[in-house]
Amino acid sequence: MREPFPQRDIEFRVQRSGEKNGRVWAFVLAYVTNRAIQDRLDNVVGPDRWQNEFREGPGGGVVCGISILTANGWITKWDGAENTQIESVKGGLSDSMKRAAVHWGIGRYLYKLEGTFAEIVDGKGEHRDKTKDGTWYSWNAPALPAWALPKGDKKPRLDETEGDTHEGTEKPLGEPDIDADYTDPFTVKRKEGIELLKSAFDREILTKEQASGLKGQIKESKSAAALDAIIANLSRQVGTKLPEEDIY
């Protein structure tokens, strides 16, 4: 039930975005898709041994209960969510089920990611959003670190299917190995990113979990553009520790 999902089953949503020194940034969080949760329950528990139930939440929104038939009978775990701005009712139903699933351990590992920066791209990207000031931008989802993927899942994103590629060396998540060195076609960029990461971690701009997540992205990225985006964001944070509302 707790096993990681492949990248195709993970969706990212922009939590905060803005513009600094003429460059747009977007901080995103990862979620398991609702369809993947249903498939996981079908495959692990059995389609006739689980069920969900929705109720109106206190003060609005929706609460979802996921029930699983055990040797001791049905056990239900609940959580809720507010209705979303887009497709409000459908969004509330979906989000409440995702949160209820976490109580069963489904997708709970994603909380270790804390959050990360999207790759801002020129032209057409995987997603399109706008900042609070109304600036539209295109962005691609960041690649997940190796520890957050099933063993052997190496499927690249669409923007990583062309050009140079590099197979990173996997390492289990533990203390952030921010002094790591790399010998690959992106050596200079990776070293620069690691040095900035070390500086941000030492100055307590990043938590251990954030440093570990970014380290995985630097190590696993096969895109020069993605590395440039990470380096630009780290440079901005290390150069000036921003006020709380603009830290991302």
Element counts in the chain: helices (H) and strands (E): 5, 9
Domain with CATH 3.30.390 in the chain: 1-142
Below-70 pLDDT ranges, the chain: 84-90, 154-188, 203, 222, 237-248
Cα separation, 42 vs 105, whole angstroms = 15
Residue 139 CA: distances (Å) to CA of 25, 88, 123, 163, 170: 9, 23, 9, 19, 26
Q: Which CATH architecture has domain 1-142?
A: 2-Layer Sandwich (3.30)
117 token code pair? 């920066």
Q: Return the pLDDT at 103.
A: 95
Q: Return the pLDDT at 75.
A: 97
CA 130 from chain center: how many Å?
19
- Which stretches of 33-92 are assigned E, i.e. beta strand? 50-56, 62-70, 73-81
Q: Return the pLDDT at 167.
A: 34
Q: Whole-prediction pTM value?
A: 0.60
User: CB–CB of 206/214 below 8 Å?
Assistant: yes
179 token code pair? 């002094």
CA atoms within 13 Å, Cβ hemisphere of 103: 15
Q: Return the pLDDT at 104.
A: 96
Would you tell me the crossing angle of helices 187-202 and 224-239 to the nearest 10 degrees?
30
Using DSSP's 3-state secondary structure scheme, residue 232 falls into helix
- Characterize the bridge pairing of strands 127-130 and 136-140: antiparallel
16 token code pair? 């905060």
